[in-house]
Amino acid sequence: MGSEAPALLTAAGAGDKLTHYAGSLNVPFDNRTSHAVAHAERVVEDSHDVSYEMIINSGADVVIGTDITSGVDLNSLAERLEEAGIKMLTVSGYCAGFEDRSTGGLNGFDQIYHDVESYGKLFGTERAAEAAIDDMRGRVAAAADKVQNSTGEQALPLYVPAAGTLGSYGHESLISEQLELLGMNNVFNDVAKRYFEPSTESLVDSAAEKIFALYLPTGTSSLENDEQVIEDLRRRPELNGLPAVDTVGSVFPLNYYYSSPGPLAVDGVELLADRLAGQ
Would you state the pLDDT for residue 108? 85
Would you state the pLDDT for residue 106? 66
Other beta carbons within 10 Å of 279: 10
Q: Are 15 and 36 in contact (CB under 8 A)?
A: yes
* CA angle 208–212–215, rounded 5-degree value: 140
Would you state the pLDDT for residue 65? 78
User: Candidates 3.40.50.300, 3.30.930.10, 3.40.50.12780, 3.40.50.1980; correct CATH number of 5-144?
Assistant: 3.40.50.1980
Would you state the pLDDT for residue 69? 55
**More confident site: 233 or 75:** 233
**More confident site: 121 or 94:** 121
- The CATH code of the domain at 148-277 is 3.40.50.1980
Would you state the pLDDT for residue 221? 77
Cα–Cα separations (whole angstroms), residue 5 to 75, 141, 232: 19, 23, 30
φ, ψ at 161 (rounded to 5°): -80, 160
Of the pLDDT bands very low, low, confident and very high (cuts 50, 70, 90), residue 102 is: low
Start-end ranges of CATH 3.40.50.1980 in the chain? 5-144, 148-277
Would you state the pLDDT for residue 83? 96
Least trusted range by pLDDT, from 80-84, 171-175, 181-185? 171-175
